[in-house]
């Protein structure tokens, strides 16, 4: 399974990067292969200062070795070895009318000292973070997510949409990071579903990403905007940074397993503001966004 899924994310990385370069029309991804001393490595790709994309990172990694003591305590296991691979991406457009998007699809195995698999699971999801809320964009994104889920069970979209709203919650701000999407973790073999079933589900979600995001990006990338709009975008990006550094489990896992810091922090936007006690004008589009983020809604 690990070889099959790692091959899939390599191909998906190529597909996503090629499509993003087409949309941008100016900048190209810089590829940065790296190796982890304890075992494994990855292929980081970053595009910066494009015509459409201010920064985009599409990373894959496959790492292995002894599970660090800090993560043993987190998972509640003894001295085990692990393998983890995944694709993680974050896209920050130039235009404040175009939303940031994040996605991640991953696979994890644990082994005893004889090399036997003692646990394995899939995780991942995709979520949208607008700065100016176009309801039709949120509906489109969620509709694509729902279609991918519905092919594998009628209850999956509702379950993983709710999990996304709960996970991407900036609890110290009492607001959502964005308008959500899907989040799932610890998808393990059961009497009802094999690991192959979960593989088919996760890869269908991964294959749906471009359909979910690119139409939104193409619709918003050339809209007019002002310096006021740009300032708001950078203030909201600050909340994005806060979530990634304070709450995100993937970031924390990377930092605690001696991950490659440049790849882990590639998700951070290049231009950010923190204004003291900032509040948008009453009745403004900025205030409307905040009201939605305080109370996540059903989009489909």
Render pLDDT for 99-108 as a digit per residue (tens, 0 to 9).
Answer: 999 999 999 9
CA dihedral 66, 189, 152, 83 (to 10 degrees): 10
Is position 152 annotated as part of the catalytic site?
no
Mean of pLDDT values over 76-86: 90
Domain boundaries, the chain: 2-294
28-42, 130-144, 251-265: which is most confident: 130-144
Tokens 């993983």 found at? 160
Write out pLDDT tens, residues 208-240: 999 999 999 999 999 999 999 999 999 999 999
From the candidates 102, 140, 152, 295, which is the catalytic residue? 102
Decide: helix, strand or coil at residue 136: helix
Q: Is the pLDDT of residue 70 over 80?
A: no
Q: What pLDDT does 23 receive? A: 98
Average pLDDT of the chain is 95
Q: Is the pLDDT of residue 76 over 90?
A: no
Mean of pLDDT values over 64-90: 88
Q: What is the pTM of this model?
A: 0.95
- Residue among 130, 141, 131, 168 at smallest CA distance from 251: 168
67-76, 126-135, 254-263: which is most confident: 126-135
Which DSSP category does 67 fall into?
P
Q: Is the pLDDT of residue 52 over 90?
A: yes
Alpha carbons 139 and 142: distance in angstroms, whole number: 5
Q: What pLDDT does 191 receive? A: 95
Q: What pLDDT does 206 receive? A: 98
Q: What is the CATH number of domain 2-294?
A: 3.40.1500.10
Percent of the chain with pLDDT over 90: 86
Write out pLDDT tens, residues 114-142: 889 999 999 999 999 999 999 999 999 99
Q: Is the pLDDT of residue 246 over 80?
A: yes
């Amino acid at each position: 399974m690990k070889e099959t899924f790692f091959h899939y994310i390599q191909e998906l990385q190529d597909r996503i990067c090629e499509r993003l370069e087409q949309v941008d029309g100016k900048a190209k991804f810089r590829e940065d292969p790296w190796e982890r001393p304890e075992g494994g490595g990855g292929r980081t790709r970053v595009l910066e200062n494009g015509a459409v994309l201010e920064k985009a990172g599409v990373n894959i990694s496959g790492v292995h070795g002894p599970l660090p003591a800090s993560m043993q305590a987190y998972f509640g296991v003894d001295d085990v070895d692990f393998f983890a691979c995944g694709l993680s991406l974050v896209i920050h457009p130039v235009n404040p009318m175009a939303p940031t998007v994040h996605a991640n699809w991953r696979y994890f195995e644990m082994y005893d000292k004889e090399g036997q698999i003692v646990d394995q699971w899939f995780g991942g999801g995709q979520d949208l973070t607008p700065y100016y809320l176009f309801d039709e964009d949120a509906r489109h994104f969620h509709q694509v997510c729902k279609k991918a889920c519905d092919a594998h069970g009628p209850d999956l979209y509702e379950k993983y949409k709710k999990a996304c709203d709960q996970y991407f919650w900036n609890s110290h701000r009492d607001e959502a990071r964005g308008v959500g999407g899907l989040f799932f973790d610890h998808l393990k073999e059961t009497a009802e579903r094999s690991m192959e079933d979960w593989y088919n589900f996760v890869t269908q979600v991964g294959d749906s990403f471009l359909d979910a995001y690119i139409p939104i990006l193409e619709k918003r990338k050339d809209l007019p905007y002002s310096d006021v709009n740009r300032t708001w975008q950078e203030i909201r990006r600050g909340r994005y940074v806060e979530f990634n550094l304070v709450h995100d489990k993937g970031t924390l896992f990377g930092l605690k397993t001696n991950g490659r810091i440049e790849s882990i922090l590639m998700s951070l936007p290049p231009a950010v503001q923190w204004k003291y006690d900032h509040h948008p004008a009453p009745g403004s589009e900025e205030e409307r966004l905040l009201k939605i983020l305080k109370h996540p809604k059903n989009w489909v």
